[in-house]
């Protein structure tokens, strides 16, 4: 499992415009984005006692989150993901699942996972059985992504963050989500061994400091 460095900053709309101009001059646009952005929908899992939420709120040093995600309303490409944090570093494991498999997982029809060849599917099965991990809430947002080769740097600006409250029917395109309070905009910077100075300078915004912002945590404030 490869861990990466991660910074998060909560910024405002004026910062967003400045950053997009700066980053466009020194980084590449993500070639997989559509019109330079992604529309992202995730379904987060948690236990009946909200283990993932409470560990985030309590600042537990080693923790995991599980989610299912797709981009730009394209349910032909869905991923099961595990996001891990350890000593301030982050990592992500993922595998593709089909739309039908995603729906079966949402419906807690999971016995088929026992014979599945994907390790992450086996792990999810164990968590759903042992810890009663279940779908908890939908999180929608828009992302503007940039990439930079040296240091394997990825910079994203996330905005229009919306919550599905108690909704878990994330494959339904008509599912309604609502904006979270304060309409935050989040700058995320991820890199491997080093962050090049040109990128460090580009993402520097006076009076903006590293934060522990979690979209899942903010969306769970509604229920």
> pLDDT tens digits for 73-115?
999 999 999 999 998 899 999 999 999 999 999 999 999 999 8
Structure confidence at residue 206 (pLDDT): 84
Structure confidence at residue 21 (pLDDT): 97
Global pTM value: 0.93
Measured on CA atoms in the order 58, 178, 141, 160, is the torsion positive or negative? negative
> Taking a C-beta distance cutoff of 8 angstroms, is the pair 142, 40 a contact?
yes
What is the percent of the chain where pLDDT is above 70? 99
Identify the band that residue 67 occupies on the pLDDT scale cut at 50, 70 and 90: very high
Going along the chain from its start, the domains and CATH numbers come out as: 5-222 (3.20.100.30)
Average pLDDT, the chain: 93
pLDDT at 17 over 80: yes
Residue-wise pLDDT tens digits, 206-219: 877 777 889 988 88
**Cβ within 8 Å of residue 51, ≥6 positions away:** 131
Residue-wise pLDDT tens digits, 160-209: 999 988 888 999 988 989 999 888 999 999 999 999 999 999 999 887 77
Measured CA to CA, the distance from residue 144 to residue 138 in angstroms comes to 20
Structure confidence at residue 222 (pLDDT): 58
Task: Summarize the confidence of residues 32-47 as an average pLDDT.
Answer: 96
> Taking a C-beta distance cutoff of 8 angstroms, is the pair 9, 185 a contact?
no
Which residue in this structure is represented by tokens 């981009």? 71
Backbone φ, ψ for residue 203 (5° rounding): -90, 0
């Amino acid at each position: 499992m490869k861990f990466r460095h991660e910074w998060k900053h909560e910024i405002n709309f004026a910062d967003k415009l400045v950053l997009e101009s700066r980053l466009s001059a020194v980084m590449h646009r993500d070639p997989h984005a559509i019109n330079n952005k992604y529309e992202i929908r995730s379904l987060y899992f948690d236990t009946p006692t909200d283990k993932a939420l409470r560990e985030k709120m309590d600042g537990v040093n080693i923790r995991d989150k599980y989610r299912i995600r797709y981009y730009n309303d394209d349910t032909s490409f869905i991923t099961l993901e595990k996001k891990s944090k350890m000593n301030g570093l982050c990592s992500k494991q993922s595998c593709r699942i089909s739309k039908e498999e995603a729906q079966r997982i949402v419906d807690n029809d999971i016995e088929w996972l026992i014979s599945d060849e994907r390790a992450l599917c086996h792990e999810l099965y164990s968590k759903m059985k042992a810890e009663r991990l279940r779908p908890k809430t939908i999180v929608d947002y828009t992302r503007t992504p940039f990439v930079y080769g040296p240091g394997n740097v990825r910079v994203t600006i996330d905005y229009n963050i919306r919550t599905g409250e108690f909704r878990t029917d994330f494959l339904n395109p008509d599912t309604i989500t609502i904006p979270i309070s304060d309409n935050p905009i989040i700058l995320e910077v991820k890199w491997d061994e080093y962050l090049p100075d040109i990128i460090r300078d580009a993402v520097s915004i006076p009076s903006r400091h590293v934060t522990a912002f979690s979209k899942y945590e903010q969306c769970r404030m509604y229920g």
